[in-house]
Structure 1
């Protein structure tokens, strides 16, 4: 039983790592000759950092990245303002504490994120077949036969993580509904710069035309971002970038050189109308594309795969097939919300809107309306089934996130379970202080492998019934 993953970007590599650490055979193919070379998706949300903690890559991410810099706006040589992203959005910053171990938006160029994920996958015994393109596929009741430039591949499931122009999505025939901002394009790339002072997102603006230079970790390269009219697209050259900077900054003291990567893209806000059709699934940009405003695209892609990984592994090891249906049911509303938020931020150009504070940290993503959220308590508190399970400190000093880390379910017992035994896929932690999760003594909380609460109940039978739906490793009643 094999999973074939098309695409070795953040979504594909995250899924590959999650499957590999569960012992699920998977093949990853990508039509590119190697990993993506540019800085494109550069912001990692607090929730994505929690995912990376669980996947075993957070140390490398923290070592090679840095907190999101302030935005510095210029008028010529004069500094108009310096503001954090939270100030621009009118939001309160997150505070580091027991429930939030990673409060900062984290700056790391996508090429390095991809590299870290790739290295982790290889460490787990995986490999990526670069230069191998998916051409089409046929599926039947038992699997999928995928045609690639390297020959046919037989897989139990195929997951399209192959970007906004996804071959898998197009071959699947699902709709990709939404809008394209036809009148504008975005020029983006990596370049060295001299003449800038401090670590910022340096913003130079003439009228409505902006040119931004972002310091990247390590100090060698800056990411430049410039909006251009669709009818006035320049050549993709260093001279064009220099001209745009001079035109919009009015400055001749900033010198650009050593263009490493450059791309032009249209701003799209589109989403597939299905994320699953039989044995073929979509994740990441193959399933949804957004404006870059708010930095939601890469983070949402990673969390698609994090939601999908344990479910694929569960079904392949004997859990009911219906478990895979919950992937689409849970992730489509999240993608739709992110699409709407990023489009609004794009139109507002980060100008605060009264009565609306977008949460770009993604800690508030919840599946409490989904099919895998069960809460039969007579009285419910602020925390709900389907919410992210918060971190916490136990009496012995252990962090709950340390307990959650790994591919297992975790049962938190705010009371005594009377030594009941569970299968290998469920770890039990008893005697947790009830105030840690704002629940009454005697409550049972089942935390899914992706860190979301599946069950909140006072009845062990409720937990057992739930486990029968999502895993083959269940204690006998």
Structure 2
């Protein structure tokens, strides 16, 4: 049952919302966390947690149990069919977690939910937000069943179609074109590719990401001109035949889960509007290249939880303006980085030899490899 009043209402119990709530709970603040789904999703969706994010999650007691459930990836490679164009090793990262952790988003959410429960919190389901009345003292949230909750602060962690953002009237600027179309799946595949690294295949028709998961499946994400409504094994086999290894082709033996989605590169006009605060996909969406989206959202969540706790402990509300001012530029950087990885595929045929030469050159320069590893790992400036 929903409370009549709460200091913090977190809408959305995905990774970002759970990170906000667990961080607050660690400071002794109990947030009210709601989600419109009756049960948590069990599909993998996002599948990598980077070292910089693990360092942040370590502060709230989540990194170690999460690492125990994942598969460490020691390197990231960029390929064109059988040719390795660039290798980015993670073993020299300035971190206790010198790898990219390959782990299902469902597992990430489960570990965060366990941590929240251990600190006395829980998620209330299913509650769908339908109204949000803002005033000088906070907000009144209305739900589909007619329930109302009075709150001082509302956190929109409810995804790229965020009702919180829309009800608060916050702009989510971006192009009016249909956006990039993607297919994704967890597949079982006979493959000669190493099971300890993530591969980004560059191909004329778009990139393909190949990432192993701890249960023996492989996460495949590919940009496509028009994703089919119900992706089948043959669609992923066709993609691997077109973009994957050629000398020893992959063979799909089973599709455990598949989906499609369409993405614009967008960022909210502001992360704060009065008592409303945004984090995660509610604030920014972009290409999945580089696996940066959920990671940025998790770091948003911990930063916002710390800031809200400081305000509730007597700090000035202006601290939340600092959160908004600090996090938005980080999202802009990530959007640019993800777009740059995507553009590696889209270069004209005449300039691909130059692209490949530059990538191979970067691969043999340790300082360049290290800079790329740190960038992929998601380390952020201190204080943000």
TM-score band, normalised by shorter chain: 0.7 to 0.9
Q: Which runs of 4+ in 1 moved over 6 A?
A: 203-206, 250-253, 353-356
- Contact 2:12 2:35 (8 Å CA) reproduced: yes
* Greater radius of gyration (CA): 1
Aligned mates of 1:46, 1:243 — CA distance in 2: 33
Q: CA deviation at 1:116?
A: 0.9
Question: 1:262: which partner in 2?
Answer: 258
Aligned length: 354
Q: Which one of the candidate residues 280, 286, 291 is aligned to 1:290?
A: 286
Pairing 1:216–2:213 present:
yes
> Is the partner of 1:85 in helix, strand or coil?
strand
Alignment CA distance shift 1:181-1:43 (3 Å): farther
- Contact 2:230 2:259 (8 Å CA) reproduced: no
Q: CA deviation at 1:26?
A: 0.9
Pairing 1:32–2:28 present:
no
- Contact 2:52 2:377 (8 Å CA) reproduced: yes
- Contact 2:78 2:202 (8 Å CA) reproduced: no
Q: What stretches of structure 1 of length at least 5 have no aligned partner?
A: 87-92, 367-387, 389-451, 454-477
Aligned mates of 1:28, 1:325 — CA distance in 2: 22
For residues 294-324 of structure 1, what are the alpha-carbon distances to aligned partners after superposition, in whole Å with 9 as ceiling and x for unaligned?
2221111111122111221122222222222
Q: Which one of the candidate residues 7, 20, 35 is aligned to 1:15?
A: 20
> Is the partner of 1:339 in helix, strand or coil?
helix
Alignment CA distance shift 1:203-1:345 (3 Å): closer
Q: Which one of the candidate residues 84, 88, 95 is aligned to 2:87?
A: 84
**Aligned-pair Cα RMSD in Å:** 2.9
Q: CA deviation at 1:204?
A: 6.6
Aligned mates of 1:226, 1:195 — CA distance in 2: 17
Aligned mates of 1:209, 1:343 — CA distance in 2: 13
Question: 2:308: which partner in 1?
Answer: 312
Q: CA deviation at 1:264?
A: 1.3
Aligned mates of 1:341, 1:70 — CA distance in 2: 15
> Is the partner of 2:253 in helix, strand or coil?
strand
| Residue correspondence of structure 1 range 74-153 to structure 2 within 5 A | 75=81, 79-81=82-84, 84-85=87-88, 93=90, 95=92, 100-150=95-145, 151-153=147-149
Q: CA deviation at 1:161?
A: 0.3
Q: Which one of the candidate residues 151, 155, 158 is aligned to 1:155?
A: 151
Q: CA deviation at 1:12?
A: 0.3
The structure whose RCO (Cα within 8 Å, separation 6+) is larger is 2
Alignment CA distance shift 1:340-1:316 (3 Å): same
Q: CA deviation at 1:73?
A: 4.6
Aligned mates of 2:341, 2:208 — CA distance in 1: 18
TM-score, length of structure 2 as denominator length: 0.82
Q: CA deviation at 1:239?
A: 4.1
| Residue correspondence of structure 1 range 315-330 to structure 2 within 5 A | 315-330=311-326
Aligned mates of 2:307, 2:62 — CA distance in 1: 21
Higher helix fraction: Structure 1 or Structure 2? 2
- Contact 2:300 2:327 (8 Å CA) reproduced: yes
Alignment CA distance shift 1:71-1:37 (3 Å): farther
For residues 373-396 of structure 1, what are the alpha-carbon distances to aligned partners after superposition, in whole Å with 9 as ceiling and x for unaligned?
xxxxxxxxxxxxxxx2xxxxxxxx
Alignment CA distance shift 1:26-1:273 (3 Å): same
Q: CA deviation at 1:201?
A: 3.9
Q: Which one of the candidate residues 332, 344, 350 is aligned to 1:348?
A: 344
Q: CA deviation at 1:193?
A: 2.4
Aligned mates of 1:41, 1:180 — CA distance in 2: 25
Question: 1:360: which partner in 2?
Answer: 376
TM-score, length of structure 1 as denominator length: 0.67
Pairing 1:172–2:168 present:
yes
Pairing 1:276–2:272 present:
yes
Question: 2:351: which partner in 1?
Answer: none
For residues 24-55 of structure 1, what are the alpha-carbon distances to aligned partners after superposition, in whole Å with 9 as ceiling and x for unaligned?
12111111232233332222222211111111
Aligned mates of 2:190, 2:232 — CA distance in 1: 18
Q: CA deviation at 1:345?
A: 1.9
Q: CA deviation at 1:189?
A: 1.8
Aligned mates of 2:193, 2:126 — CA distance in 1: 41
Question: 1:45: which partner in 2?
Answer: 50
> Is the partner of 1:64 in helix, strand or coil?
coil
Q: CA deviation at 1:234?
A: 5.8
- Contact 2:36 2:127 (8 Å CA) reproduced: yes
